[in-house]
Structure 1
Amino acid sequence: MQNLLEREKLQLLRSQINPHFLFNTINVIKYTAQEEHAEETDALLSSLARLFRYALADNEVQVPLSREIQIVDEYYSLYKARFKEKMSLYWDISPSLVLTETLVPSFFLQPLVENSFKHGLGPKESAGSVWLTLEERDGILFVQVRDDGVGMKNEDLEALRSRLLDSPVTGEHIGLYTVAARLKLLDARCSLKVSSEEGYGTTISIEMPLVLKKEEEEDDQDTDS
């Protein structure tokens, strides 16, 4: 597991090579889009810049759930610009969840949605949808990402489940594997399960202890004292 973390850190460092150049380039294109009154292009570049800043920043281990939702929406706006009505994203969020106070692992929702778009809806000839459900019950946060894409054969599903136990760092579904590995490191009580049926879609289900910002701050104070 330590080797996995080191490899993730190395990949992150490689992705941070001269980030100022990246953002300066985006800004140049943004200014050009503004001068040409290309409002949609300007908005897409802003979303892209926010995604990059979030991905490359030295984020804390956990962030407010509201921030993760915002990042998924930014990502979806980019995807929708490319695929138009072919892919739709729907949210179902429990009203009892206080999104700004609920803490979750940073950058864990977007890879799950990307996995559904790429492997579930991408190969599908007709339009498809992804449903993202967030709810809490009895101190547990339940996260479900479901798509009506092409699904998987039983043997492919079993192979994916097996690879989830090993947490590989290359190959297909790498985002899904990385999320699974990070959840295990964060709390042994976290679980990630995948179900799928060929021709009908795939569902990723996550359970994790509900962590609130105030409780986390109190735990930190107790540790310091």
Structure 2
Amino acid sequence: MSNTITFHYQVPFEIGDPFQNDINGLIAGKDDFWISSTHGLFHYIAGTGKTTRYFPEVRVLSILPDPVQKNIVWLGTMYSGLIKFNMRTREHFSYNTTNGFPHNTIANLQADDNGNLWGITGKGLLSFALDGSRINLHKVLGENGQEFNRYHYFKFTDGRLAFGGAYGYVIFDPRSMMSDHYEPEVLITAITINNKELPADNGYSNKGINGIEVMQLPNDRNSLTIELAATEYNLPEKIQYRRWLKGLDDGWVISGNDNTATYSYMPPGEYELHINASNTMGEWSDEVKVIKIHIAPPFWLTWWFITTLLIIMALLIYLGVKRKIRQAIKKDQLQIAYEREALQLEAKAMRAQMNPHFIFNCLNSIKSLMHDLRNKEAILYLTTFAQLLRNQLNSNLLEVSLEDELHTCRLYLKLETLRFGKKLNYKFDIDERVDTHSIKIPALLLQPFIENAIIHGLLPLPQGGTITVSITLEDETIYCKIDDNGAGRNVKVKEHGHESKGVKLVEGRLDLYNAIHNSAASIEIIDKKDSNGLPTGTLVIITLNI
């Protein structure tokens, strides 16, 4: 049987440093080692010889396995604080002066039996709860003072701890260390606003700086520095401070031994500054100082300015829209006036068209009657023709009563009956409920359809036909119907796209009537047919709303 010892003189990294063999701690696993060195943390696997380096920029001074969490090791470092490292996940977290440590150098790590980690720092002996809930800095009295040596530490079987120093060593029982349960109050010793210190007689409180509970500040005085002091004076360097500016911070901000709270360029709003201090054992006091701070917004962000601005904008928009509407109405009125004048001229032209060839035919009819010595019929024809002509030429109105329009239609049909004889018959059917005198309609609304019915519907038939003009009232709607039993609208005329000028004028005049009266008058032309699809006449329906 032989015992073999193998020496590994250096790690397989090109460190280029005479301290490359400096190993200050080791944790052995089943077949691997975790080695702490001033050149970082090394993981060595014995079976393969593979070595992995962690934290190459960190000088590790001490390594300690967590007594409860088997995957956790604690690394004491020079200038980098205390590192909590997970050997399985390779995740780590650092504790240093930014989160409450008194110094960023810690060595000689030991664990007591109460869940605390102990080590030496540049400011004394440190105890740290392994769950991160407490940090304590302990003064060590005697010749040893605060000076300790690296690598000189020991834990006895009874739980006592020993640390060696430049002038001796200290041995103590962690359980018998004096505890500090005092809850200090935080005092405000000075307030600086925009780099100008606030005097004791400040207008915010008649009890001096520390008596200030509410501060109302304009928006251009929004940079604050508040200096603090805790009412525990035996070991002031062990007092820690924390602050929470509700409305700006997400939670408590620990400033360690720094007793100033500084906030630059605070935005307008309502804030509550909570200030708290710990005792010498790192236990936070229940005494919390609260100051309410109101930073006023600039005038252009105040509710009254915004409201005034919105009112002005709404007024400008209203006036602009009103102006546009007025211009649009004026434009529409001018357009309606132009259209009205144009339609009046067209109506006069249409009356003048009553019409050259119609007048010529009427005169020829009178001449023919006189030539045949039918003087009585000639006189009656001439009298009727004169009445119709006078009725149309003397009227300059765009709108007439329904009674006047019906009178014009009667005269026209009487004249055409005298002209065409038995080939033309007509009748009027007027609903008694309709007040024809009070209802206004566009002039010459019905006559053009009657003329079309005679010329294109009845005269093409050898036997002629009958025209029925009816006025009915149904549900506050008047229906004016011109119904004939003639040949229907001329097929050749429809195929060639011909449209009666009189009908076209009626449609334009009806559109203007709708625009003026906000009405919905309409025209519908129905080609009547029998069961075999043959034409049996034309029905024109004019709908008027009253």
Does the alignment reach a TM-score above 0.5?
Answer: yes
Corresponding residue for 2:394?
Answer: 57
Instruction: Sort the Cα spacing of 1:195 and 1:10 in 2 relative to 1 into closer, same or farther, 3 A.
Output: closer
Deviations 1:67-110 (A, max 9, x none): 11111111111111121111111111111012222222222221
Partner of 2:426: 89
Matched to 2:459, the amino acid is G
In terms of mean alpha carbon deviation, does 146-155 or 1-10 score higher? 1-10
Computing the radius of gyration from Cα coordinates, the structure with the larger value is 2
SS in 2 for 1:187: helix
Secondary structure of the residue aligned to 2:463 is coil
Counterpart CA distance in 2 for 1:135 and 1:7 is: 28
Q: Which residue of 1 aligns with 2:476?
A: 139
1:179 and 2:506 equivalent? Answer: yes
Aligned to 1:75: 412
Where structure 2 has 5 or more consecutive residues not aligned to the other structure, the ranges are 1-334, 354-358
Distance 1:182 1:126 in 2: 35
Are 1:107 and 2:438 matched, yes or no? no
Question: Which residue identity lines up with residue 76 of structure 1 in the other structure?
Answer: L
* Corresponding residue number in structure 2 for 1:209: 545
Q: Secondary structure at the match of 1:200?
A: strand
Distance in 2 (CA, whole Å) between partners of 1:91 and 1:191 is 21
Structure 2 counterpart of 1:181, which letter? G
SS at match of 2:535: coil
C-alpha change, 1:43 and 1:114, in structure 2 (3 Å) is: same
Tell me what 1:149 maps to. Answer: 486
Q: Which range is displaced more, 146-155 or 109-118?
A: 146-155
Distance 1:146 1:11, change over 3 A: closer
The 8 Å contact of residues 456 and 489 in structure 2, kept in 1 or not, is answered as no
Q: 1:13, CA displacement in angstroms?
A: 5.5
Distance in 2 between the 1:64 and 1:7 partners? 18
For residues 43-68 of structure 1, what are the alpha-carbon distances to aligned partners after superposition, in whole Å with 9 as ceiling and x for unaligned? 22222122222322343222222211
2:476 and 2:545 in contact (8 A); partners too: yes
Amino acid at match of 2:513: L
CA–CA distance in structure 2, aligned partners of residues 204 and 13 of structure 1: 24
- Letter of the structure 2 residue corresponding to residue 54 of structure 1: N
Structure with the bigger percentage of helix: 1
> What letter corresponds to residue 180 of structure 1 in structure 2?
E
Contact 1:55 1:107 in 2 (8 A): no
Which sits farther off after the overlay, 129-138 or 56-65?
Answer: 56-65
Length, aligned pairs only: 185
Q: Name 2:345's counterpart in structure 1.
A: 9
How has the CA–CA distance of structure 1 residues 154 and 47 changed in structure 2, closer, same or farther, with 3 Å as cutoff? closer
Aligned pair in 2 of structure 1 residues 78, 13: CA closer, same or farther (>3 Å)? closer
**Please, which of 446, 456, 465 is the counterpart of residue 119 of structure 1?**
456
Which residue in 1 is equivalent to 2:381? 44
CA contact (8 A) 1:191 1:208 kept: yes
Alpha-carbon distance between aligned partners in 1 of 2:343 and 2:521, rounded to the nearest angstrom: 22
Percent identity reads 24
TM-score norm. by structure 1 comes to 0.69
Distance 2:385 2:345 in 1: 22
Runs of 5+ in structure 1 lacking a partner? 17-21, 164-170, 211-225
Partner of 1:98: 435
Match of 1:193 among 514, 524, 542: 524
> CA RMSD of the aligned region, Å?
3.4
Take 2:442 and 2:339, find their aligned partners in 1: how far apart are those partners?
A: 20
- For the 8 Å contact 1:59–1:106, the answer to whether it is kept is no
- 2:478–2:543 CA contact under 8 A, matched in 1: yes
User: CA, structure 1 residues 122+13, in 2 after alignment: closer, same or farther (shift >3 Å)?
Assistant: closer
